Chains A and B, each alone.
Chain A
Amino acid sequence: MSAADLSLLRRPNDRLRRRRMINRGMELVAWLAAALAVFFLGIVVWSVAQKGASQLSLDLFTKSQPIGQFGTGSEKLGLANAFIGSLVIVGIATAIALPFGILIAIYVNEFAGKRIKNVVSLTLDVLAGVPAIVIGFFVYVLLVVGHGQSGYAAGFALSVLMLPLVSRSTIEVLALVPDSLREAALGVGAPRWRTTLGVVLPQTIGGVLTGATLAVARIAGETAPVLLVCSLVGQGNNWNPSQALMTVPLAIFELSDQADAPEQALAWAGALVLILFILFTSLFARWLATRSRRKIAQAGR
């Protein structure tokens, strides 16, 4: 190293200064980007919280919004029918998608050869990429044309949306179960089905529930399929899924169209409850995930 080189190292020249300035500038840009993203989230949640909080009352959960005739009087309106409908429809969707999705995951992880595995994975990815509104239209053509709308159709549509989510997360957790467990069970003479259902699957319950919970959070907020399949709703609180039921996101969608302040306030309230529900289910899913990770780590020992 000549003396000239070393002095370059000691004195920051113009080029180095410029490079450092650009570096600083880019770091600032990244900070700003992150701030912007958090700002977007904050502003949406803030609007919903601020405008919806005033409507939070027992009435919201006990009174029903009369569909089609938006009240002009001073009667306090509520979203009871929407909450009930959402509960029933999401319940139906979960009841269909959960066993189906788990079986698919079991097949992919425990039984399938490499080629079939790729085909099924591709199928799940394609299914996950179909827009919710197209799935809604599919269910419309399949179940509604000629039979009329129903909560079952909406539940089925939402289960189609749930299926890839549940399958993929279950596949991931099943893959995490160490082979030593399977080998040990087979080694003591347990049949394949016993090994899978009685040894491997119970290890993954936490992960499966996490995936299912996240999927529920996702479809609880879906409007498009319900709009196409289950929107001609009758009056009052309806628990019967063979008829069309109101759901919370659909109620928000229809109420947002109205120009009157009480209807819009109701929409904000519904949005607030929806966001809170999704927030809590996501947190619950995250807690489940950490718990199941700990259990699997213990099982590996």
Chain B
Amino acid sequence: MTSLDASTDVARRPFPGRRMRLGDLLLQGAAALAAAGALVLVILIAWKVIQGARLSLSTFGFGFLTHIAWDPNPAHLDFGAASFLYGTAITSVGALILATPIAIGVALFLSELAPSGIRGPVTALVETLAAIPSVVIGLWGILVLAPFLRDHVDPALHSALGFIPLFGPATYGSNIFTAIVVLTIMILPIIASISRELFLAVPSELKEGALGLGMTRWEMIRGVVFPYARGGVAAAMILGLGRAIGEAIAVSMVIGGAIGISINIFQPGQTLAGQIAGQFTSSTSALFTASLLYLALILLVFSIVVNLVAQFIVRRSARHQGSAR
């Protein structure tokens, strides 16, 4: 960041005889306009989504958030977001719970344990996983993963852990659990690559000092690397969560699109984003579309909050780091 400040200082330092030229004015004006345009864009996005959702906002108000329904039948039009709030919460949190340990393991492997020969290729492979489009993962999810889980994994989990209502009877291939697995695969590389960079940034004096005191590698990681990188990893997790919340296409392809709240993760469900993707083309009325936009508004608020929380965590941990030295 200091180099950014330095360059503008250099350029803006007044020296005698300098006057504003037309070219300077044009460039600065155009660039400022572009930057203002970005700001306008964000505001416009919020505004237009609210405007589009207005019909549904006025019809349902805040009750929309606790109402379990999605009935496009013109005789009794009724829409509510509760099923999807639940679906989004359980799929995103589930994916975060599954992905974080694996991602941290991968990051540790790539930063501390991997022999130098395979460090580069494996890092590239993990980043390639991030580059796979969601529609391809969705395609693989519905045609390969879902049948596999339905036939081999879900029944096994049900018979082993069926006493927990979470693992109820499993009949469908497209269900919440499949969506959780798909989302895990999608957010794993995000958390892993950010964590990897964080672990690499831990000062080697701290690590070597710990090893010199006689700690094993793992104790050093637990005692030095983790505490140092704690804030950043939390931010990475939040960013992964944000990704999972916003994922529409892959989720809509594998989650089964059911309305209602079911504690059994082997039942089909639906998320906010998935509902929008799945139902948009079948919208039959203005209230339907406005309700979808209401869902989009909820998503927008979530994603902005998540983003700001991640930023706040990063800033706070950076401050702690600075004072701890």
Q: Which residues of A contact B (CB under 8 A)?
A: 19-20, 22-23, 26-27, 29-34, 36-38, 40-41, 43-45, 47-48, 51, 100, 103-104, 106-114, 116-117, 119-120, 122-135, 137-138, 140-142, 145, 160, 163, 167, 171, 174-177, 179, 182-183, 186, 191-197, 217-218, 220-224, 227-228, 231, 249, 252-253, 256, 264, 267-268, 271, 274-275, 278-279, 282
Do A130 and B303 have beta carbons less than 8 Å apart?
A: yes
Do A134 and B102 have beta carbons less than 8 Å apart?
A: no
Do B28 and A131 have beta carbons less than 8 Å apart?
A: no
Instruction: Specify which chain A residues have a CB less than 8 angstroms from the CB of B143 in the assembled complex.
Output: 47, 51, 256, 264
Residue of A nearest to B108 (CB): A30
Nearest Cβ on chain A to B210's Cβ, whole angstroms: 13
Which residue of B37, B105, B217, B308 is within 8 Å of A32 (Cβ)?
A: B105
The 7 closest A-B pairs by CB, nearest first: A221-B133, A33-B105, A131-B246, A107-B31, A103-B34, A129-B307, A193-B23
Contacts A27-B217, A256-B138, A271-B136 given; does A175 touch B7 at CB 8 Å: yes
Residue of A nearest to B26 (CB): A193
Do B132 and A44 have beta carbons less than 8 Å apart?
A: yes
Do A131 and B248 have beta carbons less than 8 Å apart?
A: yes
Q: Bits for B290-307, please: 1 = Cβ < 8 Å to A, else 0.
A: 001100100110011011
Do A41 and B138 have beta carbons less than 8 Å apart?
A: no
Do B299 and A131 have beta carbons less than 8 Å apart?
A: yes
Q: Bits for B1-39, please: 1 = Cβ < 8 Å to A, else 0.
A: 001111110110000000001011011101111110111
A120 to B137: give the CA distance in the assembly, Å. Answer: 33
Instruction: Specify which chain A residues have a CB less than 8 angstroms from the CB of B249 in the assembled complex.
Output: 133, 223-224, 227, 249, 253
A160 to B45: give the CA distance in the assembly, Å. Answer: 10
Residue of B nearest to A231 (CB): B281
Do B11 and A193 have beta carbons less than 8 Å apart?
A: no
Do B31 and A106 have beta carbons less than 8 Å apart?
A: yes
Do B125 and A129 have beta carbons less than 8 Å apart?
A: no
Do B139 and A116 have beta carbons less than 8 Å apart?
A: no
A192 to B18: give the CA distance in the assembly, Å. Answer: 10
Contacts A108-B35, A125-B307, A130-B45 given; does A197 touch B135 at CB 8 Å: no
Q: Bits for B208-236, please: 1 = Cβ < 8 Å to A, else 0.
A: 00000000111101000000000000000
Instruction: Specify which chain B residues have a CB less than 8 angstroms from the CB of A279 in the assembled complex.
Output: 128, 131
Do A141 and B38 have beta carbons less than 8 Å apart?
A: no
Question: By CB atoms of chain B within 10 A, which of A40, A43, A183, A278 has the most?
Answer: A40
Do B27 and A192 have beta carbons less than 8 Å apart?
A: yes
CB pairs A–B below 8 angstroms (12 shown): A30-B113, A31-B113, A41-B128, A44-B185, A47-B144, A129-B306, A130-B42, A142-B48, A186-B10, A192-B27, A220-B133, A227-B249
User: CB of B57 within 8 A of chain A?
Assistant: no
Instruction: Specify which chain B residues have a CB less than 8 angstroms from the CB of A274 in the assembled complex.
Output: 133, 135-136
Residue of B nearest to A283 (CB): B124
Do B45 and A138 have beta carbons less than 8 Å apart?
A: yes
Residue of B nearest to A137 (CB): B296
Q: A107-B34, A110-B11, A192-B27 given. 13 additional CB < 8 A pairs?
A: A33-B106, A38-B125, A108-B35, A109-B7, A119-B39, A120-B38, A123-B42, A192-B23, A193-B28, A197-B27, A227-B277, A249-B133, A271-B136
Instruction: Specify which chain A residues have a CB less than 8 angstroms from the CB of B125 in the assembled complex.
Output: 37-38, 41
Do A34 and B109 have beta carbons less than 8 Å apart?
A: yes
Instruction: Specify which chain A residues have a CB less than 8 angstroms from the CB of B156 in the assembled complex.
Output: none
A184 to B100: give the CA distance in the assembly, Å. Answer: 49
Do B7 and A110 have beta carbons less than 8 Å apart?
A: yes
Q: Bits for B247-266, please: 1 = Cβ < 8 Å to A, else 0.
A: 11100010000000000000
Instruction: Specify which chain B residues have a CB less than 8 angstroms from the CB of A176 in the assembled complex.
Output: 3
Nearest Cβ on chain B to A110's Cβ, whole angstroms: 6
User: CB of B237 within 8 A of chain A?
Assistant: no
Residue of A nearest to B300 (CB): A134
